[in-house]
Structures are given as structure tokens and as C-alpha cells.
Structure 1
Amino acid sequence: MTTPIIMLVLIITPWLIARGISGAMRSDFDARSAAAIGLSILFMFTGIGHFAQTELMVQMIPTWVPVRVFLVYVTGILEFVIAVGFLIPKCRRFTGWAAAAILILFFPANVHAAINHVPMGGHAWGPVYLLVRAPLQAVILFWVYWFTIRQPGTALQADAPPAVRQ
């Protein structure tokens, strides 16, 4: 059950560090870049899981799906590509859309894993784990949207002081 906590720490920590440094230095806070770094770290972490725990990842995919091992490797590589994309400002919005799609497309595998008590990342808890996983997925999707997909300069930010604009 520690995996969701690790995932949250990975995406939020760079944002918190950048926020702290900008506050201490009294400089502008680049929330979008800091959050993108966190997302990059998160996708690198989850991509590594596809190679370090391949067999457990394979168990998350229904048995009727062909070439499950190959799919685990390909999706791991895709997560690495997304991780790199978040680090390239010109690619960030497109990468955000790709990450959002992946998060939505992968969720059924999490449901399957929870229903079948796959012993990985909390799924062994069964369907109860989805009470943790679904909100976590929503938080990550929101983070992706807010910091990478959403166009900066919306009405919500117009009234914010320059130091906290995102």
C-alpha cells in the first residue's frame, strides 16, 4: 500500500522544493516546470516497474489479451518516453495529453488487478484498493491537466500575484 504514497511524494516533492526555494529567494515560482519534473519522475518510476516487476505487471492484464509480456515492455518504454517529454517544455502539452490518455487506458488493468488480488502495489487488497487507486488516478490526472495541458493565463491566474502564477 506504500506505492500510492510514493507516487504522490514523487509528483509533489519537486513542486514543494521549487516553491520553497522561490519563497526563500523571493523569486518567481515556475510551478509548471516543477510539476512537470515531478510527473517525469513519476513516469520514470512506473516505467521502471514494467521492467523490474514484469511478471507481476503481466498478471494485471487479463489472460485473454495476447502478447502480455510484450505489452508490459512496450508500455514501460512508453512511460519512459512520457517521462522525457515532460522535461522538454515545447513537448509538455502534447506529453500531458499522452499521459492523460495512458492513465485512463491503464485504469482497467488496475480494476482487473484489484478484482483478481494481484500481489502488486496494493492490488492484493482486492476491490477495496480501488478506493485508494481511483482517487490517486484522479489526482494524477488533475496534476497532468493543471500543469501541462491547461493553457497558462486563465482567469483564475489573472488576479494572482506574479510569484504564484502557474
Structure 2
Amino acid sequence: MKPLLVLLGTFILSLLIIKFIRNEYAWALAGRISMAVMLFFTASAHFAFSKGMEMMMPAAIPYKKFLVAFTGILEIAGGIGLLLVSTQKMAGICLIIFFLAVLPANIYASLHQVDYQKGSSDGNGPKYLWFRIPLQVLFIAWVYFSAVY
């Protein structure tokens, strides 16, 4: 829920600031800025809650600590890529692939009731998927229409 609030709040703020500066609404630019800010926000969780993020992956997956840090770095790189005109389209394509690639970890975490912030197994559970899967689809559409399209 927090990433969605960051995304929407930053979008509105960006849109208004751009309107004030350029005297026009630059929807795609505001979309890229807000997605970048959201990605920086979610990337911070990879470092602040790394133990809980490791719990989001099945036991059979090796190098969990590395993967958590690596995906956090990918989110930062993706956010930066969205902000640079020369890389925004490629960053958008990579982020769409990234969002698809991490969805199984979110599904696994929900099915195993992982609360990544507490690093415990008393999270929201499968009902969270009713929110998380549409949210992931929103992220993909958001990146597509603000950076790739």
C-alpha cells in the first residue's frame, strides 16, 4: 500500500510542479518521475528489511542475501534509467521484465504469510494477493505508458 501512495502522491506533486514550470501537463514525465521515486522507496526496503525480503523466496533459491541486494540495486538503476531521456525506453522495458520476474516472490510471500518488515511469518497471507497482483499490473502499465509507449 505504501508504494502505491508514494507513486500516486509523487505523481500528483510532479504533475503540478511541471504545470507550474512549463505551463503544461507532462503526464508521461510525471509518470516517470513518480515511478522512479517509488522505485527508490521500495529499493530502500531491500536494504532496511533484507532479512524479511530473504524470507520472500523459497528455501531452494540460493544466494538470497545477494539477490535481495541485487534487486534493490536493479530498482535504483531502473529509477535512474527512467529519469534519463536516452535510457527511459530501455529502462521501461527492463522494469516490465523485472516486475514480472519478482511477482512469484510476492506470491510466495503471500502464500507463506511473510511480513518482510518484521521478518516474520504472520503477514497478510493469500488475501494480500487480491491487492498485490493488480498492483503489479498497475506498475507494468504505468511504466509502459510513461516510458515505453
Pair in the same fold by TM > 0.5: yes
1:139-154 correspondence to structure 2 within 5 Å: 139-150=138-149
Specify the SS of the correspondent of 1:89: coil
Q: Mark the CA change 1:72 to 1:24 in structure 2 (over 3 Å): closer, same or farther.
A: closer
**Equivalent residue in structure 1 for 2:71, among 67, 75, 78:** 75
SS of residue matched to 2:124:
helix
Alpha-carbon distance between aligned partners in 2 of 1:9 and 1:26, rounded to the nearest angstrom:
25
Deviation at 1:12, TM superposition (A): 2.2
How has the CA–CA distance of structure 1 residues 23 and 83 changed in structure 2, closer, same or farther, with 3 Å as cutoff? closer
User: 1:43 aligns to what?
Assistant: 39
Structure 1 CA distance for aligned equivalents of residues 31 and 140 of structure 2: 12
Cα distance in 2, alignment partners of residues 48 and 145 from structure 1? 23
Query: Contact 1:96 / 1:145 at 8 angstroms: preserved in 2?
Result: yes
Residues 63 and 25 of structure 1, relative CA distance in 2, 3 Å threshold: closer
Partner of residue 123, structure 2: 124
Q: What TM-score, normalized to structure 1?
A: 0.80
Paired AA for residue 55 in structure 2: Q
Shift of residue 9 of structure 1?
2.2
Equivalent of residue 19 in structure 1, options 7, 15, 20: 15
Q: Using structure 2 for the length normalisation, give the TM-score.
A: 0.89
Q: How many residue pairs are counted as aligned between the two chains?
A: 145
| Aligned partners of 2:55 and 2:116 also within 8 Å | no
> RMSD between aligned alpha carbons?
1.8
Deviation per CA, 1:86-127: give whole Å up to 9, x if none: 111111111111111110000000011011110136x81111
- SS across alignment from 1:50: helix
Larger radius of gyration: 1
Q: Is 2:64 the partner of 1:65?
A: no
Return 79-88 or 15-24, whichever deviates more.
15-24
Instruction: Give the direction of change, closer, same or farther, for the CA distance of 1:27–1:129 in structure 2 (3 Å limit).
Output: same
Match of 1:134 in 2: 133
Structure 1 gap segments, 5+ residues each: 151-166
Q: Name the CA distance, whole Å, in 2 between partners of 1:21 and 1:85.
A: 21
Q: Shift of the alpha carbon at 1:22?
A: 5.7
Identity across aligned pairs (percent)? 28
Query: SS state of the match for residue 28, structure 1?
Result: coil
